[in-house]
Each structure stands twice: as C-alpha cells, then as structure tokens.
C-alpha cells in the first residue's frame, strides 16, 4: 500500500470545486467492518485483516483533512466484540497499543487531537497506558479531531448518561423539568462535539451495530460493499460527494 503525504492527498482531490467542498460533511463516523472477511478471502488469519485495516487509517486521516472533515470518528471495538476468539481480541489490543505509540508523534505534527471513547477501564493495562499517553501528548492540538471508539456501545452510553442525570437530580444539581435533549446530550461521551453528519458502514452490512444510537438521529447513512482494508481516500471522497448532493431537512419540508 502506498502511503499518502499531505501534498499527494491535496493533488488527488484538486478537481473538487470549492462550492462542492463547502457542502462536504464536517464530522464523519465510520463503522470499519470487513477486516476478517478481507483476510479470509486471501487465505490469511483474521488477525492479518486487522493489521491491514490499521494501515488504512493514515491515508484516510490525510484525505479527511483535505476534504475539510474536522472530526473523524472510527468504530474500532464494540462492547459485543469481546465475544470473539480470545486470540483475536488480544491481537486487536496489541495492534491498538502499537499503533497509538508509533503514530502519536506524526499525528501531533499534523495538529490532530485524539480521543479514545468508550469504557477504557476494561482494556488491558498496557493499552490504557498507551491511550493515556497519546491523549495527553495531543491534547493541545486544534486543527482537527480523531476519535477512536474502543469498547464502546451506544446503549451502554445512553444508560450511563441517564444515570448521571439521575445523580444530578438526586444531589439537587438539576431539576427534573430541566432535563431535555441538550442536557442529555451533554452527558454522552461525545457531549463536547457535534453529531456526525455522515456515517459510513463498510462491508455492505445493513445495520448500525450499536454505534452512536443517540447521535445518528439525523445523520446521513452510506453503506458500501467495500471492505475496510480496501477503503481508499477516493472512496471517502466519493462518499463526501454523495453527501453533498443530498438535502438534509431535519423534519422540515423546505
């Protein structure tokens, strides 16, 4: 795989008109699916599919920057993924630990802030340490944000938000009548960021798999048959073009 530099990414998307880019999504979330199938189709162990998947992250980050995407959210490991074979789960966390430590300096040079979202406390200690170091190193960056959703589940997030609101009411910090969509949203893991404009699901599966259940209420959805290890910067560009030609009415008719 040829890795992109910022310069090559810019030249590959120069044909997009400025007025089109103005309509591109600013927050894109991706359900990165199909790694295991990608490996199986090539007679490889499933873990090799996850390794190939990690190599696609850097080109997609660079493409997202050129396309004007300010927040890129990647669904890496769900609360249900613990049901997978133990060896596969361990290899995923080894890969995440290595990626975090190896790529932090380069992400810092690009001005990218990184957040790991989910129940991080249940991850292996080595992975937790790598995550903490990465977030601390990149906390000052403001150019764009990269979110890794790890041990994340949408239902669990909603339950957690409800518990926090209940505690606030119990402790007299909030009146029951003050609970609304905005106060609830602030209690979510994503409370400090806008909802995704576009959610992309690779591998052709027609479901959201417990991802951002509250936040996707009015997100545009795009499903592609392409497996994540084959998902290219050009695929991301086409997804943004498709999004730019849609009309988001948010329940209105105009």
| Residue 248 pLDDT level (bands cut at 50, 70, 90) | confident
Give pLDDT, residue 13. Answer: 62
For position 94, what pLDDT does the model report? 95
Is 33 labeled as catalytic in the residue annotation? yes
Q: Given 3.40.710.10, 3.40.1180.10, 3.40.640.10, 3.30.1950.10, which CATH number is that of 26-151+196-244?
A: 3.40.1180.10
Q: What is the pTM of this model?
A: 0.91
Q: What is the pLDDT of residue 16?
A: 63
pLDDT tier at 99, thresholds 50, 70, 90: very high
Average pLDDT on 230-246 reads 96
| Burial grade of 181 (CB within 10 A; 0-12, 13-18, 19 or more) | exposed
| Catalytically annotated residue among 16, 45, 81, 94 | 81
Q: Residue 251: its pLDDT value, please?
A: 74
Q: Where are the domains of the chain?
A: 26-151+196-244
Q: How far apart are CA 191 and CA 53, in angstroms?
A: 28
DSSP string, 123-192: S-HHHHHHHHHHHHHHTT--SEEEEEEEEE-HHHHHHHHHHHHHHHHHTTSS-GGG--HHHHHHTSTTTT
The residue among 117 and 248 whose pLDDT is bigger is: 117
State the average pLDDT over residues 75-100: 95
pLDDT band at 252 (very low <50, low <70, confident <90, very high): confident
pLDDT given for residue 250 in this prediction: 75
pLDDT, residue 202, reads 97
The β-bridge relationship of strands 220-223 and 71-78 is unpaired
pLDDT per residue over 3-52, tens digit each?
334 444 444 565 666 677 889 999 999 999 999 999 999 999 999 999 99
Average pLDDT of the residues in 160-189: 97
Q: What is the pLDDT of residue 110?
A: 96
Give the mean pLDDT of the chain. Answer: 92
Q: What pLDDT sits at residue 15? A: 60
Strand order in the sheet with 112-117: 112-117, 144-152, 71-78, 27-31, 198-201, 220-223
Per-residue pLDDT at 230 exceeds 70:
yes
Choose the catalytic residue: 33, 65, 151, 197.
33
């Amino acid at each position: 795989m040829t890795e992109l530099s910022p310069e090559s990414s810019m030249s590959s998307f120069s044909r997009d008109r400025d007025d089109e880019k103005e309509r591109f999504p600013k927050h894109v979330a991706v359900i990165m699916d199909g790694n295991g199938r990608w490996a199986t189709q090539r007679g490889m162990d499933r873990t090799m599919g996850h390794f190939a998947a990690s190599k696609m992250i850097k080109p997609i980050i660079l493409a997202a920057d050129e396309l004007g995407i300010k927040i890129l959210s990647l669904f890496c490991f769900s609360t249900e993924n613990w049901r997978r074979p133990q060896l596969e789960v361990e290899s995923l966390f080894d890969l995440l630990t290595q990626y975090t430590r190896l790529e932090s300096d380069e992400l810092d040079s690009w001005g990218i802030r990184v957040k790991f979202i989910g129940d991080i406390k249940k991850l292996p200690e080595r992975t937790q340490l790598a995550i903490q170091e990465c977030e601390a190193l990149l906390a000052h960056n403001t150019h764009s944000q990269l979110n890794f959703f790890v041990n994340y589940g949408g239902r669990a997030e909603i339950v957690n938000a409800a518990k926090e609101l209940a505690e606030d009411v119990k402790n007299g910090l909030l009146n029951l009548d003050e609970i609304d969509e905005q106060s609830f949203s602030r209690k979510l893991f994503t409370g400090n960021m806008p909802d995704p404009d576009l959610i992309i699901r690779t591998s052709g599966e027609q479901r959201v798999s417990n991802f951002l259940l509250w936040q996707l209420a009015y997100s545009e959805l795009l499903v592609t048959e392409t497996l994540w290890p084959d998902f290219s910067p050009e695929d991301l560009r086409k997804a943004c073009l498709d999004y730019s030609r849609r009309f988001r009415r948010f329940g209105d008719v105009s």
